[in-house]
Structure 1
Amino acid sequence: MLIWIIFAIMTGAAIFALLWPLSHGRAGAFADAADAKSLYRAQIGEIERDIARKLIGPAEAEAARAEAARRLLRAAGDEGSPAGETESSLRRRRASSALALSCVPLLALLVYGAYGSPDNPDQPLSARLQDDPSKQDFALSFARIEAHLAAAPTDAKGWAIVAPIYLREGRYDDAARAFAAAVRYGQPDTETLAGLGEARIMAAGGVVTEEARASLAEAVKLDPKNARARYFLALAKEQDGDGKGAITALRDLLADAAPDARWAQGVRRRLEQMEADAGRNAIAALAPADQQAAIRAMVDSLAERLKADGGTLAEWTRLIRSQTVLGDKAAARETVAMARERLSQDGPALTALDVLAGELALKETAP
């Protein structure tokens, strides 16, 4: 009902804006025509006096008399029509007013009927929040949960539902508060505690804070195999300068990972980065004479590992480039062949290896 009242007010305002200029005829110069005639007669008398005093010439006096006479005749003709409006102009103005009064609402109704949805019932938010959740979209369902939590802030289950969503949406402060509420009002479990630690880390810009460490340690205490908590605790070791301990922790985590664990690839990349950084730091600390031997030992160690366990395209590529830089092109060609054999089911990887072999001039030339 309120929407129709608003529509009626808007229509009335539009009609008023159209009728206002039409409701005023041409404004006369004087409210009373008699005053105008008196003024013009006085002007003619003044012209006669100016001629008698020889202030103006005959030609100027004749022009002034003609102008005053025209104004006097116009005022005398307007006396029978108020404000100078003729009967025909009054009829046109009334017809325009009637046309505007009828056409504006009719046009509005036609446009609404063509483009609007007059048959749809009202859909207030409060009513939609009470509908069956299975028939609601995600945003509405999420708003329903948030409204419920505002009314029942001690519902640990509700906080446990919204906390991961906040975390995925990048609302890290909200996620940390939601995880903390789930822990405070419910029975803490390892996943909730690990989520609380991650949210606190992300809210701190990637720094593993003391509060985050406490949550992660509690999660590992409840479940020593909690992968998320172990990963962030390994990052905490790296943050503290214990690079060797962080590498060991990530290696142990990967050793316990299931073959199809989706998070393993990300952990493996982080481990490779840590190992590369540790290797560079260790080599940089050596004397110049020992640096070349240390680099070759690292390359040989990587070659042995890939030969025994296989690896990713990135690992094979790193080994091939390292062997080429060391001037051992024969070993690099053998590595290319081995990589092609191990990655034979990966078409894009084989293409990348061919490109790499051509770039490093490792392709066998025909005799």
Structure 2
Amino acid sequence: MIFWITFIGLATVAGVFLLRGLFDVRNESAPDAANDLKIYRDQLKEIERDTARGTLPKEEAERVRVEVSRRLLAADARLQNESSGAGPATATTRLAAGVIIIAFVGTATWLYANLGAPGYEDLSLNSRLTASDAARSARLDQSKAEERASLPPTPEISPEYQDLIQKLRDTVAERPGDLQGLRLLVQNEATLGNLMAAYIAQSQVIDIKGPEASAEDFTLLADLMISAAGGYVSSDAERALRQALERNPSDQRARYYLGLFLMQVDRPDSAFRLWEQLLAEGPEDAPWIAPIRSRIEELAWRAGVEYTAPETAPLLGPDAIEAAQELSDEDRQNMIRGMVNQLSERLATEGGSPQEWARLIRALGVLNETDEARAIWVEAEGLFSQSTEALELLRAAAKDAGVEE
């Protein structure tokens, strides 16, 4: 209530200041004629004094007196006209001003009530973090998340396939420790759209493997849970993601889903940092790149960050190199050279994933530019020195290009 009183009061004061000129029509117009009257009266007195002293001839004094008197009468008539018209104009002006102020305040109030957030206080950082923690604590578990999920209908399957799946289910039930059978069951249940059955089977895989369960095992479990909940990251799915990242902090799919979770608990700042890094790492054909691209600029806006997603650049993959072999020598060299220049420039200015650096090294090898390929390999080796997987990928590319030492 205090906010509304303050808001309406300030809007009213602003309206009064904007329209105060309408209240002063008389005061602004009258002084011109009144000042003229005073000046002309002073001039007549001055003429009389000059005539009495003999400094102004009588004929000239009479002529000047007539001219000043004429101007005096004109100024008096103008003053009378302004004074006689000021009353009705002022009353009308005041009424119009009142209507305008009411419309001004009413429009501002309506706009805020419909476009603003009445009743909400400005949130401090601590308040936002507290609200996010509360949202995280209130996350639905997997069963409740699935109850409210809206999933597409499961695909129709042939009776023969149904019989095969049922046999697989029976076999797994008879041999609960059969990891191979459980993995097949996970894959087939997911294909059929039986996502709950799929993640239950994946949970059994993790239980059997125990401490040997990998990050990929937990990421797959979280993936199936999130899909079963229609994209909602439940508290159970979050735990699976955390366990995956404890085993492999670089797991890209787990990081993508963790970013989705952070968005859902109102932490766009943390989600943006995760997704920006994933987008930079690539590869461009990874399944999480397209959804990140479609939402990351909005996410950056919510995080208060000025950000423009980098343009998609063609990557030099094995298919492109193979297709180039069918061209003439000149056309092949031109094609590869153009792609190499584009990729090299982007990596130099924006950086990129290990896969992109590896492709650049291989392409330079195809062009027989071994010195440049070796320089790129050395630079990439320094950039990714902390990642064993990235170094293995880059070393294989350097070997293909003939520059590995």
Fold-level match, TM-score > 0.5? no
Computing the radius of gyration from Cα coordinates, the structure with the larger value is 1
TM-score by length of 1: 0.37
TM-score by length of 2: 0.34
